[in-house]
Structures are given as C-alpha cells and as structure tokens.
A and B are shown apart, each in its own frame.
Chain A
Amino acid sequence: MAEYRMVEHIPDLIQPEEYERHPEGRLVRISISVDGGGVQVLGDAFRPEVLERLLETLGPDAIEQMLCG
C-alpha cells in the first residue's frame, strides 16, 4: 500500500470555472511527466477517493496529498 505524504502545494489541474459543467463531479484530470528521476503522475478530481483509487492502482511508493485548512 502506498504511503501518503502531506505536502505544502500541488498544482491544480481543474479550475473553478469548470465546476458547473460537471455537476455530478465525475471529472478526473491527469498529467504524466517523465524525467531523469522517474515518472510523475499528477492528478486532480472532484471526488478525491476516485483519484486515490486510481493512483493506488499504479503502485507508487508514495502518494502526495494536500491538506485542508
């Protein structure tokens, strides 16, 4: 199971202007980048549990998450 790390900042991939176009909150957006250190998958979703399940399926060592408040 992936370790969750709480980090200071993660960029948004979904903007507030998109809220009304997805009233059921089914939108998930993913950005994948590769560099010398490996593959980074950045995600944003209206339903955090959906994104978490998706990221966990990829089998990463760690999943970074922002906190609320």
Chain B
Amino acid sequence: MGMQWTPAVLQRRRHGRVQCLLCPFRCALEDGETGLCGVRRRTGDRLETATFASSVRHWDTVERKPLYHYRPGTPCLTLAAPGCTFACDYCINHRMSQYGREDSVRWDAEPVDAEEVAGEAAARSGCVAISYTEPSLAIELTAALAESGRPLGVDVVWKSNGFLTAEAVDLAARHVAAVNVDVKTLDERDHRDLTGARPGPVLDALTGLRERGVWVEVSTPLIPGLTAGPGTLRPIARALAALDPAIPWHLVRATPAHRRTGHAPTPVADLAAGVRIGREEGLRHVYVERALGAVGRATRCPRCRTTVVARDIWALGENALEDGRCPRCGTAVEGRW
C-alpha cells in the first residue's frame, strides 16, 4: 500500500508558509512541499503526516529499547513507520530510517488501527513501543495509541533521538510514559557529522520530558575513533549527572554499519572504561547490555550494592525490588517499577 497522508499537528502559519513545529529544523513549507524528514508535507493550508502507519509489528521486551527502570520484563508491541529527523551514517536501521534521504528505502508501512493495537497489547499486559525509526515523527499515532491504551492500562514508550521542539516535548509528555533518548555526543561538530543536526535540542528535550514526568533513560553509542573515548563520554556523563544522577545510562557497542564501516566494533575495554567514567561522574546506574555479561546489565541498590534487578539478554531475570525499594536496606531505587 502507498503512503496515506493524514492531518498532522504542531504547525503554524508564518510569512505565507506553513511551518512544522515538530523538530528543531522547523521546516517552513510552500504548498506541496515535504519537510526534510520526508514524511510531513503541506497540502493547501494543512500539514499532513504519513506516519499514522507502521512497517512492522514486532513483539519484544522493554529491555530491548533499552528501558531498564520502567516496568522490567514488560512485553512491547513495537511499531515503526519509515523516516527519521537524523541522517546517522552508522544507523543499523537505515533500510527503514533513511526513507526520504536514500532512494533505496521504499515506503512499506500499512495504516495502524490504534484501538486494535492497544487491545492486542492489553491482552498480554504489555505496552506499545514506537521504535527503530524516529517515533516523534509519529506524534499523532502516539497520541491515538495513548488515548486508546489509557483505559486498558497500556502505556506508550519511545526510543527516540530526542530531536524535538519545546512544543513537541509538551505534547509528547502528555502521551508517552517512558523514553530512551540517544545522546550520541555533546560535541557540536561530531554530532553534526554523525547526524546532520545540532546536539543542543536533544539535551533540552530530555530535560523537558523529565520535568513533565516522563521516565527518561539515555543511550550513547561508543563509536571507535569518534564517540568511544573519555572526551565524549565524560561530558555526557557529567551533563546527565547534573540533571539527575539517577538517570540510567546505557553504553551501546557499535558495529560498523551503513556508511560508517572503517572501524572495528567497540572494544570491550572502552565499554568498561565508559562504565567507570559514568560512576566517577556520579551516575548511579550505568549499563552495558552484552559485552560485560550479567554484571553489566544488573541494577544495584545505590546504597548497599545488592543486586535488585537481574537481567538476561533483552529480558528480565529477577526483580527483587519490594515496592521499588532494596529488599536488604530499604533504599528506594528510582524508576517506574
């Protein structure tokens, strides 16, 4: 089925153009023009989106997003429409995410029935995730899923690049329960090289989402020769710790992919060094999904260091928390348990 365009939110008239207010590019569109994202366009006086649709319908766990402090073990019905606000040259998902930028990426998404999706998620006591591509581009679908899911106890979670305007943050916070935001680097030039965009709005968005009550975790890809060293990791850890030392920080091993293939995979030693840096800067929860084994995935009590949540790869092992508290010393562990 081809693209189906439906009404979009977050727009204003400006100097005879229709301006999209979803991402910080703030595309000002003439009639018939499509934004940089390739999935929002102007038709007459109306802004439209093609993202009330999904190319996939995958069941996985919340740990895969990754979200470690949000309802561990929750099954996620995951949706994604092609498209992204970033053009990351290392993106493993480029065959979906780079729609609109690369001719080889075709539109293969089907319209989504939000009530039906929420019902399927409710039947497994799960949540709905929008992931793999940029979920904020599907803000209208997110709202519909959240509204359908709310009476059923079904939350919507995101895995996002965090490139949102303040207006989009306001709207997203009404509908998204938890989000993992990629903070790739705070270095202006490196971030532009990697993604085609500035890093500042990403930190602003994750701050705004937290302030509005969304549970936020952060991922950073450790790309050898670019973002895997202390020069990248320490400023990120410091910035996160200044916001809240309890923000979970996921260090992600990078494999050569897409257009960035001239490096080896992230050395295990770099991931271990990243964990040390996170802790030195005061972060309480720093995670590595595979390379450091079960110890790298475990949540420990920040006070007595007892393992309170043990994880397998992309799965919950055991959650020993009692009402969100360490069973040994009673210290509260931050999260939505």
Interface residues of A (CB under 8 A from B): 4, 6-9, 16-17, 19-20, 23-25, 46-49, 65, 67-69
Contacts and interface: CB of A to CB of B under 8 A. Distances in A.
B265 A8 contact: no
Contact of B96 (A6, A9, A25, A47): A6
Interface stretch (B36-44, B254-262, B303-311, B317-325): B254-262
A46 B255 contact: yes
A20 to B, nearest CB: 5
B45 to A, nearest CB: 35
B268 A48 contact: no
A41 B77 CA distance: 28
B257 A48 contact: yes
Contact of A47 (B65, B93, B261, B293): B261
B284 interface: no
B255 A48 contact: yes
B64 interface: yes
B264 interface: yes
A47 B256 contact: yes
Nearest to B261: A49
Interface string B59-75: 11000110000000000
Given A8-B58, A25-B256, A49-B257, A19 B265 contact: yes
A69 B256 contact: no
A19 to B, nearest CB: 5
A16 B293 contact: yes
Given A19-B265, A67-B93, A68-B93, A25 B59 contact: no
B199 to A, nearest CB: 19
Given A16-B291, A16-B293, A23-B264, A67 B96 contact: yes
Contacts of A47: 255-256, 261, 265
Contacts, number: 65
A8 B75 CA distance: 13
A24 B255 CA distance: 11
B132 A69 contact: yes
A69 B159 contact: yes
Contacts of B261: 47, 49
16 contacts: A6-B95, A8-B60, A16-B291, A17-B293, A19-B268, A19-B291, A20-B268, A24-B264, A25-B256, A46-B264, A47-B255, A48-B256, A49-B257, A67-B92, A67-B132, A68-B93
B144 interface: no
Contacts of A6: 55-56, 58, 95-96, 132
Contact of B56 (A19, A67, A68): A67
Interface in B94-146: 95-96, 131-132
Contacts of B32: none
B153 interface: no
B290 interface: yes
A-B pairs with the 7 shortest C-beta distances? A16-B290, A25-B265, A8-B58, A69-B159, A68-B92, A67-B132, A69-B131
Contacts of B58: 6-8, 67
Q: Which of A6, A20, A69 has the most CB of B within 10 A?
A: A69
Given A46-B265, A49-B257, A65-B95, 18 more contacts: A6-B55, A6-B58, A6-B96, A8-B58, A19-B265, A24-B264, A25-B256, A47-B256, A47-B261, A48-B255, A48-B256, A48-B257, A49-B261, A69-B64, A69-B65, A69-B131, A69-B132, A69-B180
